[in-house]
Structure 1
Amino acid sequence: MNKTGIIFFPAFDWSLGEFHPEREERLLYTQEQIFEEGIMDLPQVKQYSPGVADLFDVLRTQAIFPDLQQHNLDAHLIAVGSSLVLGNALMKKEITNGFALVRPPGHHSGATVWGNRGFCTLNNEAILINVLRAKYGIKKIAVIDTDVHHGDGTQDIFYHDPNVFYISIHQDGRTIFPGTGFTEEKGGPNAWGSVLNIPLLPGVGDEGFLYALENWIMPAVEAFKPDLIINSAGQDNHFTDPLASMNVTARGYGKITEMIKPDLAVLEGGYAIEGALPYINMAIFLALAGEDYSGVVESQKPQNTEIGGDTIRSFLTDLKRTNEAVRPSWAFRKEPFLPTGDWVYSEKSIYYDTDGFKENRREYIRKCRHCGGTVLMISQKPSAFQKAVLVRIPFEACPDCEQAGYDLAETFQKSEKTVLLQNQRRDQVHFWTDGREVNPFGG
């Protein structure tokens, strides 16, 4: 019999405020309803206990600046670790699929981390994905993000990675945080087309989401041929969510899950705590377990007009045409510190809404025909006059890109206070402060 794994971690000791929408009740009502309905007694359901992530697993994927000790990561490490518990169970064939009902969420947390943004500090899915690649040799993974907010952090982490296909279907960034996720964002110079953003008009409901899945998202996933599919399972597209303006129902989420067929789903946002989350989570879990979810009906009814029919079909057809017409345009730059090769340059400003500051970042990517390319990120927190450097050697790096990564790390450890080298090819992490290599984990 197929098994569906489930894990709960409500993070009782992590809060952004007593009345903040991101609070422990997001999971408690769901947990109560799932137990009351007897769903945990289904023979195909297997419950797991939370776990704690290793800090090495974090630094393989994300640079925590200026150092780990300046962040309170306890709850975030358990949210990540709980996702890893289900990932390991999947790889060991203990389960066929699974749902990590965890908080804090993670998909707004990017490649460099100076604080909390969008309620996220560590990126649960991204760390999970790179653990599965490093530990089990998984080659290609598709991430389908169904949160109402664009998962800018997950996109940021994998933007230059040709072996991770990141897809986000979300409310248009011109109308909602974080203001990103447009059709022209399609991946870096060695990973063009590995990102697909579908920004929707406010008001789209079940029909529009399912149409986009059937006619755009799933054909693209099938063409990519991933080894695994991860659902970044945000639930704030629901018609009652206080932070968004969409019209998806709980049964709509069940159908979305049925169509995606994720190997693992990891909870992201969703803030209608009583009126939506218990119903949505139950529909998603029933769909994963192969059970009928048609009887999952919310106590409230949609009040807003849903955008559907010819309007949404025409909109999505035009959006797809626009996406296909986008062509890459790279800005190359030569700097005295850059090793041999052609380097693509870009700049990024990242706003940390929770903590109220901006990170400014300069990025250099080595254009390469053989691998994802070495990535250099020079990151600065202007409010604190702090600067740090991330050098990433990618999975399956070619010899030239690996050497370029080592050369960059050697150059910057002499001139910058904080330098992190992620050698994903050899599964190594090196951290320098004030020119000395140190153990970033303490002890």
Structure 2
Amino acid sequence: MLKAKNKLGIIFFPAFDWAISPTHPERQERLLYTQDQLREEGLFDIEGIGEYKPDVASIEDVERVHFCFPDVNGVTTRSHRISAGGAIKAADLVMTGERDCAFAMVRPPGHHAMKVVHGSRGFCNINIEAVMIEHIREKYGHRKIAIVDTDCHHGDGTQDVYWHDPDTLFISMHQDGRTLYPGSGFPQELGGPNAMGKNINIPLPPNTSDEGFMMVMEQVVKPILDDFQPDLIINSAGQDNHFTDPITDMNFSAKGYAALNEMLKPDIAVLEGGYSIQGALPYINLGICLAMAGVDYSNIREPNYNPEQIRQDSRTTEYIAELCRQLPRLYFEPPAFNAKGDSRQGVISGDMFIRHKQIYYDTDGINEVQQESLTLCDQCRGLYKVETRADSGPMCLGVEIPIDACPDCRTRGYELVEDGLVKGTYRYVQLINRLDKDYVRYGF
């Protein structure tokens, strides 16, 4: 009998009761074919690999991360909370030592869900990785965490959630935003003024194959991780870089995904995108599981795999090689934040960082405008405030007191909430107080 080098926990949640439409690529078959494949290949006969059921994320778990308007139940279903609960289950298995690593194969996905949530964008309502990470920090103490997003689409939601967090390193490897939704994820998007260089984007050209991905892992991702020295590595495991995916333009293989995870050695992987339901996902997921468990994956091969047909050309290789030369310095030698720079990245006014955003929720057809501000405090990471309105609806206010808040920022946070309530400027007001674990919502 085979024995896993690393004890691996696998959590399944296909979400039978949630789909955008019966024929939409984001549907339950994304996981059903994988379940069949893993059982047919005898994965669960390997000693050290076990299957677990998901937990259900609580309202507080979501409100620890997101400002949801009008409220959590108004922008999610139970399936969204179970998907996040599957990620939480993976975290608990690892943090308690029951498993060395874990893979949450759950849906709906989450990496396009931003700090503020009015609905669904990019098939995502809540950011399941962020909900999981902040559960870890709340239950097991603060941790330095690295998120490596290998989805073909830029993880703009995760980037937004952790824009100001110096203790969370976010690295996104994705198809260049000039050629694919959501049109973001460029190298100059480096994080807020207190977290410059902790947000690293690696926009790859269409038709990048295994060679290009492994080059980036070896020359960009691994050196940065080695320097950051995270307590945990999370793989935001999107699988739509595969050469058969119907909505992207990349040439990654199932064995390539396994090799990437062998190099990355994530503590936790959480499924994101991937829409080649029969021809790719069962093989990619099997390869990732074997790699995480430390079991030989050399025989992984999906249908129609021909390495010569998907090999990247020399121009693509040269372009990626230049990225590998340029990108590491953005982490190791980040530029000073430019208060007169790109206004989309934010500006500094006095002791405040201010950023204006226009966000489109493509799945639900919602337009949002918001202004966020962060107090640039010498004693803590600063008080966060966001004013937001969706489709010319009522103004809403979110205030977050950080986990390391100084007395002044804590006091000012409660004053902002009280002022908002007294003046009646906002229809909904939400407070996230990470310092005192106080999560309060008001609606009128």
Fold agreement, TM-score > 0.5: yes
Aligned pairs (5 A) from 1:169-318: 169-301=173-305, 303-304=309-310, 306-307=312-313, 309-318=317-326
What is aligned with 1:329?
Answer: 338
Whole-Å Cα distance in 2 between the matches of residues 190 and 403 of structure 1?
Answer: 21
- 2:160 pairs with 1:156: yes
The share of aligned pairs that are identical, in percent, is: 47
The separation in 2 between residues aligned to 1:253 and 1:218, in whole angstroms, is 16
Distance 1:315 1:197 in 2: 10
Aligned to 1:438: none
- 1: distance between equivalents of 2:269 and 2:120? 22
Greater CA drift, 388-397 or 110-119? 388-397
In structure 2, the residue corresponding to 1:44 is in which secondary structure? strand
Q: Distance in 1 between matches of 2:384 and 2:115?
A: 11
2:11 is paired with a residue whose SS is strand
Distance across 2 between alignment mates of 1:371 and 1:234: 34
SS of the residue corresponding to residue 95 of structure 1 reads coil
Check the 8 A contact 1:190/1:373 in 2, yes or no: no
CA deviations over 1:223-247 (Å, ceiling 9, x no partner): 1111111100000011111111111
* Distance change (3 Å), C-alpha of 1:194 and 1:64: same
2:342 match: none
1:373 corresponds to which residue? Answer: 382
Query: What secondary structure is seen at the aligned counterpart in 2 of 1:198?
Result: strand
Shift of 1:386: 2.3
Deviation at 1:417, TM superposition (A): 1.7
Q: Quick check: 1:233–1:267 contact (8 Å CA) kept in 2?
A: yes
Q: Does 1:59 align with 2:101?
A: no
Q: Secondary structure at the match of 1:199?
A: strand
Q: Residue 377 of structure 2 aligns to which amino acid in structure 1?
A: C
Check conservation: 2:108, 2:123, Cα contact below 8 A. Answer: yes
Distance 2:89 2:80 in 1: 14
Shift of 1:194: 1.4
Distance 1:333 1:126 in 2: 29
Q: Which residue number corresponds to residue 337 of structure 1?
A: none
Separation of aligned partners in 2, 1:312 and 1:72: 39
1:174: Cα distance to partner? 1.1
Matches of 1:242 and 1:317 in 2, distance apart? 31
Partner of 2:79: 75
Q: Distance in 1 between matches of 2:269 and 2:142?
A: 17
| CA positional deviation for 1:91 | 1.2
> Could you tell me how far apart the structure 1 residues matched to 2:420 and 2:132 are?
29
8 Å Cα contact 1:117-1:355 kept in structure 2 = yes
Q: How far 1:407 moved relative to its partner?
A: 1.9
Other structure's SS at 1:332 match: strand
| Separation of aligned partners in 1, 2:248 and 2:217 | 20
**Distance apart, 1:209 and its partner CA:** 1.1
Cα deviation, 1:330-379, whole Å, max 9, x if unaligned, reads: 32336xxxxxxx11111011110001121111011111233221111101
Indicate yes or no: 2:405 matched with 1:389.
Answer: no
SS in 2 for 1:81: helix
The answer as to whether partners of 1:190 and 1:368 remain within 8 angstroms in 2 is no
Q: After TM superposition, list the pairs within 5 Å mapping 1:100-111 onto structure 2.
A: 100-111=104-115
In 2, Cα distance between equivalents of 1:39 and 1:320: 37
1:322 Cα deviation (Å)? 7.1
Partner of 2:354: 345
Matches within 5 A, 1:77-92: 77-92=81-96
2:196–2:334 Cα contact (<8 Å) kept: no
Instruction: Give 1:358's aligned amino acid.
Output: N
- Structure 1 residues 80-159: aligned runs within 5 Å: 80-159=84-163
Compute the displacement of 1:304 (Å): 4.8
Output the CA distance in 2 between the equivalents of 1:153 and 1:387: 21
Identify unmatched segments of 5+ residues in structure 2: 340-346
Aligned length: 426
Alpha-carbon contact 1:146-1:235 (below 8 Å) kept: yes
1:358 alignment partner in structure 2: 367
Q: Whole-Å Cα distance in 2 between the matches of residues 134 and 104 of structure 1? A: 24
Report the TM-score, using the length of structure 2 for normalisation: 0.92
Q: Deviations over 1:132-180 (max 9, x none)?
A: 0011003211100000001111111111111111111101111111111
Give the residue type in structure 2 aligned to 1:306.
Answer: Q
One-letter amino acid of the counterpart of residue 191, structure 2: G
In structure 2, what residue type is equivalent to 1:348?
A: K
Distance 1:8 1:69, change over 3 A: closer
Q: Distance in 2 between matches of 1:305 and 1:263?
A: 30
Q: How far did residue 295 of structure 1 move?
A: 0.5
Structure 1: distance between partners of 2:160 and 2:323: 27
C-alpha deviations, 1:230-271, integer Å up to 9, x for none?
100000011111111111110110011011111000000000
- SS in structure 1 opposite 2:225? helix
Offset, 1:85 = 1.0
Asked whether the equivalents of residues 57 and 88 of structure 2 are also in contact (C-alpha less than 8 Å), the reply is yes
Matched residue SS, 1:169: strand
